[in-house]
Structure 1
Amino acid sequence: MDSNLENLAEGKEEEQEQEEDEEDYDDMNLENKSDFEKQQIHLKRQIKSIEKDMLDAKPWQLTGEIEGQRRPENSLLEEYLQYDRTTRLRT
């Protein structure tokens, strides 16, 4: 199983290198591109950046419900919490 994981990791690295090479090639020939092609290249870069941000690890505040063991000690004291009251107020 370890070899499968290593193969997957190597495959991802090779894929990233190919994408970087394609971006470098696009940069070199940017002056030969039409305005539409330049826009498409810019949009692809934005999409890749957003996808990377979405796949990166999120801070504990953005992961939804979390137990105390899964967040840093006393980190909840530093946060401003917003919550809905679940019981009726008695007047």
Structure 2
Amino acid sequence: MTPRRQSPKLTMLKKYVTDRDDVLMAFLFGSRSKGREKAMSDWDIGVYFKPETQAIEWEVQKSYPVEDAILGDVFSIACPQHLPHPRLQALR
């Protein structure tokens, strides 16, 4: 089986995530992680940040202009307190 060529957008996102000190882990899930994306498929990316405080953050929505520039129209939810399901494909 021939390995798939990695998307330039995913390569840029991996570098960006790796260079950030506040990101504990990022993972790709959904159709793109399985190689089943279509022309109009979105990017499903989970990002776990180091908590800024000891308070539990159930769901925080923030604007990330660099991510928007890399991936285009992105809806992101940052969930720093929860561990992902082990079947998710880790980027870091």
Higher relative contact order (CA 8 A, sep 6+): 2
TM-score interval, normalised by the smaller of the two chains:
under 0.3
Q: Larger % of helix: which?
A: 1
Larger Rg: 1
Query: What's the TM-score once normalised by structure 2's chain length?
Result: 0.25
Q: Larger % of strand: which?
A: 2
Query: What's the TM-score once normalised by structure 1's chain length?
Result: 0.25
